[in-house]
Structure 1
Amino acid sequence: MPRKIRDKQLSLRQMARMRGARRPAPLTMELPDDESALGPEEEGRVVAHFGLNVEVETDSGERLRCAVREALLEEPVCGDRVVSRRVGAEQGVIVSVHERLSVLRRPGPHQRLLTVAANVERIVMVSAAATLNTGLVDRYLIAAQKAGIEPLLVVNKIDQMTDRNALEAAFAPYPRMGYTLFQVSALHETGIESLEEALRDKTAIFVGESGVGKSSLINRMVPGEILRTAEVHAATGLGRHATTTARLYRLTRGGFLIDSPGVREFGLHGVIREEIPGLMRDMAPRLGQCRFKDCRHMREPDCALRAAVEAGEIAAARLESMRRIAESVPARNPYF
């Protein structure tokens, strides 16, 4: 009788092979100098970016591996609407990028800006019930507010929840501020239908730490896609990276979903220290009510934010989160 391999081990290996098999090989073809050798212009959407190559889904539903013209002012990213011209049946070149309706960026190394995705209408912040990180949630909420993108909060793995009271306490401030919160389980498919309905006909991006189950949720929401999933490290409690590059998927109910690589920290782009309170929904209405115009909301007398905390109108954890985030961003923007 053959030795039985545990399902989880087998599926991880299989999915890793399948993920690797789908990754396109580098595009090494020579682009023709004669423009007449290129096919007609085709509209499409960027679904993935692999180094020098971009994968495009045309409006007719075909997939092309495309090179990018050096003359483009913006490097195409997931979610971009582009115009391409074919060089052969399955290859092409991107000749232009349409104006972006929205863009999500984060700081990269050496003061470089990394564009995560474009034309996003929903930022879906995924947390795991057993490893909540509301500080990271607050950073994404500030980024969403700055970019004018509607955020949704998702707590996954509620089947592993050991302390519901702690979960309710941690997330209690967010519904009061008007944020929509979903409690789901990718394993048991709990709450998935409500989340899918909220994303109908929208372009959304999943963000959050590694190991919170973003890929598992997509496996439930996008039939036919088998994404590699990763477990949380038993010793450190930190997630392992399953997604290594952003990728766009078509939702069965209409719309698109971008899966982004997991992060443990999220730097804020284009935000300076004094802006932080104004980008937090529970604090913004109280700005200008402090005694001092340059109030830092620390120990200054007659601080409106501290008074709101004492009155129970703002959660103390929210004020502390605001202070930590404000201390982590520059007094003036180094990217300007």
Structure 2
Amino acid sequence: MRGPSPKDVRLPPLAAIQAFEAAARLGSFERASEELFVTASAIGKRIAALEALLDVSLFIRSSRGTTLSSAGREYLEQVRTALDLLSDASLHKRGEPKPEPLRVVSTPTFARQVLIPYLPGFTAAHPDVELEIMLSIPYLDIMPPNADVWIRFGSGKYPGLRTQPLTEDPVFAVCAPGYRDAHGPFRRPADLAQAQLLRCPMEPWRPWLDAAGLDWPEPSRGVWLVDLGMMLDAARAGQGIALTRRTLAAEWLDEGKLVRVLDIDVPGESQYYLCTEASRPPGGARQAFSLWLETVCKQASQWPCGLRASHE
């Protein structure tokens, strides 16, 4: 008995598979349409036809956009493998090294203050890695989908993710030298009564005030900044005193653009963690990036000789 002929096998159209892979990788139908030079409506129709053929929903659609379903994530891995094989089979690709994509999602402050300044070291050591960096917004819990690596700020407890601590930074107070000279000296904690304490929900003042022996409530006046980087920028601009940590403020502390206020450290309630999917085995570009970033964070957290000042 002969098996089914090729005509009996319903293969998905390559255009539909390409539309699905691009939308999943780029995070939206619109960006996929730009890459494939078709309309977003055409992308949507191709994916809908693919879902009908497979009899499964590949995306979860809502008013906020689309995200991959669990079935979509599984199918994406299969599609990528198939597309890689097709790509490698092309004669003009044989013999050429294939770059390994690595999509990294980071908080804005960590990306700006830590990741980007040191990034040339990674790209020089790993020219075969095709790196893409996306930003998340921790306070609003907004995070691009389909990443290979996440850099998160919090407790380190994220279900379904394998976590690796990047920082163990204590938290301390800083300000611009000009602000210290105009509103100081700040020799005792009580001297901060006349200072503007910059506020950010990611770094509350209450633990530091307790360590300083100040029975003050959490500051309730002044500009509310929902990003650690914006709070550091405000401090550097002479707008008040901010709480920070060595890893984030290393460059400005070393250059003297920020100075410590008093010599009081408290453990950071939140720290930075590098996260990967627990279901995916470590290795390749993800492992290389993890090891490199761990070294970078250790380097950034070190105090040069003489800079741990307590004379403010």
Q: Does TM-score exceed 0.5, indicating one fold?
A: no
Higher RCO structure, 1 or 2 (CA under 8 Å, sep 6+): 2
Relative to the length of structure 1, the TM-score reads 0.22
Relative to the length of structure 2, the TM-score reads 0.23
